[in-house]
């Protein structure tokens, strides 16, 4: 079974631009979560989607948004990029998102903002 | 609110020595706990999970963890370290609001 895929793997953007990252979950998984990983803040939860509905959102500004499509694929968008948005963005999929179900992570998208 | 504390941001062991990575959690409800490993420039790989079925959980690559409710701990161990175990390890707790809360991570170095 194919794992979680994320595209692109690397991105370089300029301050003020916007960016869209994509995530394809494991087949049959309906929950997709996004996390931001930085050296200073570690792994922080961005949001979780299930059946195209956002069920939870982390403590990030409104510049961070996401969506999920009917095939469970998900995108996240960051508008008006800031230098501090440079990070590894990880997507994870789960069968249901319930607490006892493990989440499987993709390789991440490395975003560099200059 | 749930939280995870990993004691020791960096642990160094010799090849063949015992690996012990510490994790303490805080949770108002019975927790579901996970250990993940991250190799350089990669995503997170699940090592093992605790979901109340058994207090001693065996995972991949020879790792295991023991859930101790009285100590609110879920420490990760491996009897004999291998060079390939060098990576960063994250302990996480799962909550009812569909998210994982991670510890800050422990970087494991294995010396030949």
| Band (B71; pLDDT cuts 50, 70, 90) | very high
Q: Is B59 on the interface with A (CB under 8 A)?
A: no
Structure tokens at A10: 């690397």
Contact B48, B58 (CB under 8 A): yes
SS3 at position B62: helix
Q: How confident is the prediction for chain B on average, in pLDDT?
A: 93
Kindly report the number of other CB atoms within 10 A of residue A85's CB atom: 21
Contact A74, A23 (CB under 8 A): yes
Could you tell me the strand order of the sheet in which A64-68 lies?
A5-7, A19-24, A74-78, A64-68
- Average pLDDT of B80-99? 92
| Band (A16; pLDDT cuts 50, 70, 90) | very high
Is pLDDT of A2 > 90?
Answer: no
Is pLDDT of A37 > 90?
Answer: yes
pLDDT tens digits, B61-70: 999 999 999 9
Residues of chain A whose beta carbon is less than 8 angstroms from a beta carbon of chain B are: 4, 6, 31, 33, 35, 42-43, 45, 48, 50, 55-56, 58, 90, 92, 97-100, 102-108, 110
Between chain A and chain B, how many beta carbons pairs sit less than 8 Å apart?
A: 56
Is pLDDT of A97 > 80?
Answer: no
Q: Which of B44, B51, B101 sits opposite A100 (nearest CB)?
A: B51
Q: Please give, rounded to a whole number of angstroms, the shortest distance from the CA of B58 to a CA of chain A.
A: 15
Indicate yes or no: CB of A31 within 8 angstroms of CB of B98: yes
Indicate yes or no: CB of B32 within 8 angstroms of CB of A92: no
């Amino acid at each position: 079974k194919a794992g979680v895929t994320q595209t692109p793997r690397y991105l370089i953007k300029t301050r003020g631009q916007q960016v869209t990252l994509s995530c394809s979950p494991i087949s049959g998984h309906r929950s997709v979560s996004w996390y931001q990983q930085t050296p200073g803040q570690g792994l922080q939860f961005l949001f979780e989607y299930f059946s195209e509905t956002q069920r939870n959102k982390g403590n990030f500004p409104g510049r961070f948004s996401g969506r999920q499509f009917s095939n469970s694929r998900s995108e996240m968008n960051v508008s008006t990029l800031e230098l501090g948005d440079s990070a590894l963005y990880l997507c994870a999929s789960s069968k249901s998102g319930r607490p006892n179900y493990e989440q499987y992570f993709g390789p991440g998208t490395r975003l560099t903002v200059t | 609110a749930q939280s995870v504390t990993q004691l020791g941001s960096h642990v160094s062991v010799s090849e063949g020595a015992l690996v012990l990575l510490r994790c303490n959690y805080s949770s108002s409800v019975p927790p579901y706990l996970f250990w993940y490993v991250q190799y350089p420039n990669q995503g997170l790989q699940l090592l093992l999970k605790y979901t109340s079925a058994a207090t001693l959980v065996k995972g991949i690559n020879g790792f295991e963890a023991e859930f101790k409710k009285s100590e609110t701990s879920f420490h990760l161990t491996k009897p004999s370290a291998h060079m390939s175990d060098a990576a960063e390890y994250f302990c996480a707790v799962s909550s009812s609001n569909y998210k994982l809360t991670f510890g800050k991570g422990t970087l494991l170095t294995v010396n030949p």
